[in-house]
Homo-oligomer: A and B are copies of this chain.
Amino acid sequence: MPTLREVGELEAIARLGRAYARAGAGARGGEPDGEGVVLGIGDDAALLRPAPGRDLAATTDAFVEGRHYVPWAFTPRETGARLAHANLSDLAAMAAVPRWALLSLGLRADHDIDLLVELGHGLAQALAADGARVVGGNVAAVTGAEWLSLTLLGETPRGRAWTRAGAHPGDLLAVTGFPGRAAAGLLLASRLGAAAQGAEWRTLLDAWRLPRSRVRLALTLAETGAITAAIDISDGLAGNLARLCEASGVGAELEEAMWPRDPELERAGETLGIDPDRLRLGPSDDYELLLAVNPERREACEEAARRTDTPLAFVGCLNQASNVVVRVGKDASRRPLAVEGYDHFTAAGS
């Protein structure tokens, strides 16, 4: 298990490159270099060939050791995959096809090269499952906390990307997956330690540790023309709903009666002494999508969710009350939705 100091920068980059290629070759129909890659790792820049008539969607997201990932919780492979998912989720929210990624790493010289290769392979595998390849990167040496910064590029048919700004009053609100589960998983792991690893909490721990890509759903939904606006909710559903409303100039009603039951989350809420709704609506590393849906095309959405095996729940609707987000209780009570977003700098912790 040699360290980066022992193998050196060039050898580390070469081994990472082979790990990326292996992950790419394992993908459905994948060639190692990947379609649209004129020149991958090994020159001053990668050379890529976008398909004609497409727009590019470009996003970047970073993980910091000790904050976004911790050795006790994640294997290197899982950390790599989670970083891929954090970025894939942004492209899903634009209905973009993931294509090319650049990985910038801040690593300590005592980092084990084999563990680094596992991380790179996990990341590249998660990308490859949605058709994307690592085509470049950078390594820098650090002495303190390590960090991983990924930039992901995707393509959409020209002018057809989803944004946060297209929703209309009357549109329905839908959400994928089971928001809050990742936050519950994190809290269970931190508070219960080894006791959280049992079968009892498996669903919630997995929601945190092993996110699922919503790219396939997004691309299937894009074909229906049903989606008027979309946003990724990894900063918290309430906060991201407020941002979508602001961008679209609409208001929203979240209806508790429409929200699907999640007994696992409720059980976690009891154990943790936290209202499950706080987990659902607050900051949580669920890489899920919040969607504004043309009500006339609701059925096409439900069909797309079935075809891609994705949980999709309609949880409210949009209205003309610009920027006002109301929570409608099961008893028809109405109160403003508290926004508890995650702020990296003012937050007490992660």
Interface residues in chain A, defined as those with a beta carbon under 8 Å from any beta carbon in chain B: 3-5, 8-10, 12, 38-39, 42-50, 52, 54-64, 66-68, 89-91, 93-94, 96, 100, 102-104, 106-107, 109, 135-145, 147, 149, 151, 153-154, 156, 158-159, 161, 163-165, 230-232, 247, 343-347
Given A52-B52, A57-B47, A93-B45, decide whether A64 and B343 contact each other with a Cβ distance below 8 A.
no
- In the complex, residue of chain B having the shortest beta-carbon distance to the beta carbon of A232: B44
Establish whether residues A141 and B58, one from each chain, have CB atoms under 8 Å apart when the complex forms.
no
Docked Cα-Cα span, A91 to B8, in Å, equals 25
* Residues on B with beta carbons closer than 8 Å to the beta carbon of A140: 62-64, 67-68, 147, 344
| Number of chain copies forming the complex | 2
* Residues on B with beta carbons closer than 8 Å to the beta carbon of A149: 62, 104, 106, 138, 149
Docked Cα-Cα span, A344 to B7, in Å, equals 11
Establish whether residues A45 and B90, one from each chain, have CB atoms under 8 Å apart when the complex forms.
yes
- Residue from A46, A56, A232 with most neighbouring chain B CB atoms (10 Å): A56
Q: How far is the CB of A94 from chain B (nearest CB, A)?
A: 5
* Residues on B with beta carbons closer than 8 Å to the beta carbon of A232: 44
* Residues on B with beta carbons closer than 8 Å to the beta carbon of A3: 345
Q: How far is the CB of A313 from chain B (nearest CB, A)?
A: 20
- In the complex, residue of chain B having the shortest beta-carbon distance to the beta carbon of A106: B147
* Residues on B with beta carbons closer than 8 Å to the beta carbon of A68: 140
* Residues on B with beta carbons closer than 8 Å to the beta carbon of A159: 38
Docked Cα-Cα span, A220 to B230, in Å, equals 43
* Residues on B with beta carbons closer than 8 Å to the beta carbon of A142: 64, 67, 144-145, 147
Establish whether residues A135 and B64, one from each chain, have CB atoms under 8 Å apart when the complex forms.
no
Establish whether residues B151 and A104, one from each chain, have CB atoms under 8 Å apart when the complex forms.
yes
Establish whether residues A49 and B44, one from each chain, have CB atoms under 8 Å apart when the complex forms.
no
Given A67-B140, A145-B142, A149-B138, decide whether A343 and B50 contact each other with a Cβ distance below 8 A.
no
- Residue from A10, A151, A156 with most neighbouring chain B CB atoms (10 Å): A151
